[in-house]
Structure 1
Amino acid sequence: MRTRRPYAEPHLTGVCLGLLLLACFALTGQGLGASGAFASVASGVVGTVSPEAAAHSAYFLSYLQDGSPWTAWIVVEIIGVLIGATASAALAGRTRLTSVHAIRPSAGKLFAGVAGGTLMGIGAALARGCTSGLALSGGAVLSVGAWIFMAALFLAGFLAAPLVRRLWP
């Protein structure tokens, strides 16, 4: 068994992420994000399983009208993220399955995690994008809305942290 190497240096990682974002804009004309991939895949599944249902839904049609949702840029990007994350974990010797011991399972923690994830998913759907897409891509093009959103996100995180802190040791 290989020894685990430390995580990547965060400042260098941030610079590399910025360069990757710049390359994405230059090569594809699109930024980075994640939530749209799930909507594209869901539309592809519905379009394959029930073409009639997809044809009567403006939501699914919006993803199906531009060609195959399986080859949309954001789906290809997420596949690359999965491959890159797996390669990174393997190179760092961090591929074994483990449980997180810092968080002891309880109904309250499970509820808080599911509720938080659900609210984030609903928020991403309502905003028509996820935090990463808005913060990275929107922030990079100096979108005022993206910067206001990020300020509000950090403020909400700081305000909510004391309320949920008791759930985690």
Structure 2
Amino acid sequence: MRPLRPYAEPHATGVCLGLVLLACFVLTGQGLGASGAFASVASGVVGAVSPETAAHSAYFRSYLQDGSPWTAWLVVEIIGVLVGAAASAALAGRMRPTFVRAVRPSGGRLFAGVAGGILMGVGAALARGCTSGLALSGGALLSVGAWIFMVALFLAGFLAAPLVRRLWP
């Protein structure tokens, strides 16, 4: 097994992410996001399994009216993210599946991580966008809602950190 290469320097990575966002705006006219991809895929599945349900739901119709949900920009973007992440992990010698700070079966870390992910998903649905869509794309466009979201996100993170800190030694 090859030795692990160090992670990328965070400041340089942030600059690169900003350049990717700029390239997305210039080349596609759209920003980055993720939650819309999952909604598009879910709408496509519902449309394939139960077309009458999709036809009677304004939510699903909104994703199905612009053509195939499988070729929506955000779905293609997420496929690219998965391919890029796999390539990056392979190049860095980090393809072995693992938990960061290995989860003990009796511990609550896995539960806390899953619960946090579910809460973020619910929050993304309520906010009509995910962290990447609201914070990155909306923030770059100077959207007031995006900046309010970012302040609330950081505030919630700072307030919740002491509560969950005991799960990570």
% identical aligned pairs: 87
Shift of 1:115: 2.5
Q: For 1:25 and 1:61, how far apart are their aligned partners in 2?
A: 26
Calculate the aligned-residue CA RMSD, in Å: 1.4
Contact kept? 1:124, 1:131, Cα under 8 Å = yes
Note the C-alpha offset of 1:111: 3.5
Distance in 2 (alpha carbons) for counterparts of 1:26 and 1:101: 39
Partner of 1:3: helix, strand, or coil?
coil
The 5 A counterparts of 1:1-169 are 1-106=1-106, 108-169=108-169
What are the ranges of 5 or more consecutive residues in structure 2 without an aligned counterpart? Answer: none
Contact 1:43 1:69 in 2 (8 A): yes
How far apart, CA to CA, are the structure 1 residues paired with 2:132 and 2:105?
A: 28
Query: Stretches of 4+ moved more than 4 A in 1?
Result: none
Give the residue type in structure 1 aligned to 2:24: C
Q: CA deviation at 1:23?
A: 0.5
- The alpha carbon displacement at 1:101 in A equals 3.9
Which shifted more, 31-40 or 98-107? 98-107
What is the distance in 1 between the residues matched to 2:15 and 2:108?
38
Per the TM alignment, residue 54 of structure 1 is displaced from its structure 2 partner at its CA by 0.6
Following TM superposition, by how much is the alpha carbon of 1:10 offset from its aligned partner in structure 2, in angstroms? 1.1
SS of 1:39's equivalent? helix
1:102 Cα offset (Å): 4.2
Letter matched to residue 130 of structure 1: C
Q: 2:129 is matched by which residue type in structure 1?
A: G
Question: What whole-Å deviation, never above 9, does each CA across 1:96-134 have from its counterpart, x for those lacking one?
Answer: 223444432336334433322221111111111101111
Q: What do the CA deviations read for 1:43-68 (whole angstroms, capped 9, x no partner)?
A: 00111111111111111000000100
User: Over residues 10-57 of structure 1, what are the superposed CA-to-partner deviations in whole Å (9 max), with x where a residue is unaligned?
Assistant: 111111111110010011110001011000000001111111111111
TM-score scaled by structure 2?
0.94
**In the superposition, relative to structure 1, how do residues 116 and 159 fare at CA in structure 2: closer, same or farther (>3 Å)?**
same
Do the aligned partners of 1:103 and 1:168 also contact (CA within 8 Å) in 2?
A: no
Three-state SS of the structure 2 residue aligned to 1:33 is: coil
User: AA paired with 1:2?
Assistant: R
Aligned with 1:14: secondary structure? helix
**Alpha carbons of 1:5 and 1:128: their partners in 2 closer, same or farther (altered >3 Å)?**
same
Residues 41 and 151 of structure 1: is their aligned pair in 2 closer, same or farther, counting only changes over 3 Å? same
Q: How many residues align?
A: 169
Matched residues in 2 for 1:98 and 1:164: separation? 21
TM-score (norm 1): 0.94
